[in-house]
């Protein structure tokens, strides 16, 4: 909100140079995307606390296309980060494409925010007979065992003496929780591994469901 308010104030100044309008527009768009993501996560969290769970609507969905859209959103939010995508196999099946978009955006933004800026965020999507798997990897300081045990819990702040905790203390800590809920709503799961050699990798495993029909 602060970015939007400041940009509005600058635009309202009589001496404002019009050549800076595109830059301010990009700032406003990035802030709007962040606010939209936060609202979606808060709504999802509220539903889980009311015992309703996240609604999942299955339609024919190509994960590679969902990832393209998620990368576009993450790039708009973190324009200084490179996202590299590799896909293998046929990744289409019955999923909730909107929810998967939310899941992947949360993972990509998390990787961009806490990974080393000098390395790209790598996304690898592979298909097998029964499962689709998406791995999101960023380089940087490894997470501790304690962090990996608690990272998917909602509203959790790691202890201040944990040197790997680089999240802002004002963070709600909902993005990874929502990602896990969406994966589990599809009958899948999200796991994490982290070490100084290979970086941090979040792995999403989703069963391939074929109860719906592909578009004609």
Other CB atoms within 10 Å distance of the CB of residue 214? 12
In this prediction, residue 1 carries a pLDDT of 45
For the chain, give every domain's residue range. 2-49, 59-207
Token couple for 38: 């936060």
CATH class of 59-207: alpha beta
Using an 8 Å Cβ cutoff, are 136 and 111 in contact?
yes
State the pTM of this model: 0.75
Distances (CA, A) of 52 to 46, 55, 56, 63: 9, 8, 11, 26
pLDDT tens-digit series, residues 32-83: 655 665 566 656 556 566 466 678 889 999 999 999 999 998 888 888 899 9
Rounded average pLDDT over 91-113: 92
Quick one: pLDDT at residue 179? Answer: 92
Helix %, strand %, coil % for the chain, to 5? 45, 20, 35
């Amino acid at each position: 909100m602060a970015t939007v308010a400041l940009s509005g104030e600058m635009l309202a100044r009589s001496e404002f140079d019009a050549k800076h309008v595109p830059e301010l527009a990009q700032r406003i768009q990035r802030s709007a995307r962040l606010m939209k993501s936060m609202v979606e996560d808060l709504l999802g969290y509220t539903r889980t606390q009311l015992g309703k769970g996240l609604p999942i609507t299955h339609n024919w969905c190509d994960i590679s296309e969902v990832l393209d859209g998620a990368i576009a959103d993450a790039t708009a939010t973190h324009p200084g980060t490179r996202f590299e995508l590799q896909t293998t196999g046929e990744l289409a099946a019955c999923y909730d494409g909107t929810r998967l978009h939310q899941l992947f955006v949360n993972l990509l933004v998390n990787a961009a925010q806490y990974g080393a800026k000098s390395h790209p965020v790598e996304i690898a999507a592979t298909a097998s007979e029964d499962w689709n798997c998406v791995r999101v990897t960023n380089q940087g300081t490894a997470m501790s065992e304690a962090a990996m045990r608690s990272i998917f819990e909602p509203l959790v702040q790691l202890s201040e003496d944990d040197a790997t905790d680089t999240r802002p203390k004002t963070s709600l800590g909902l993005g990874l929780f929502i990602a896990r809920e969406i994966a589990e709503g599809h009958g899948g799961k999200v796991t994490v591994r982290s070490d100084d050699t290979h970086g941090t990798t979040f792995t999403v495993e989703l069963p391939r469901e074929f109860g719906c029909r592909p578009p004609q």
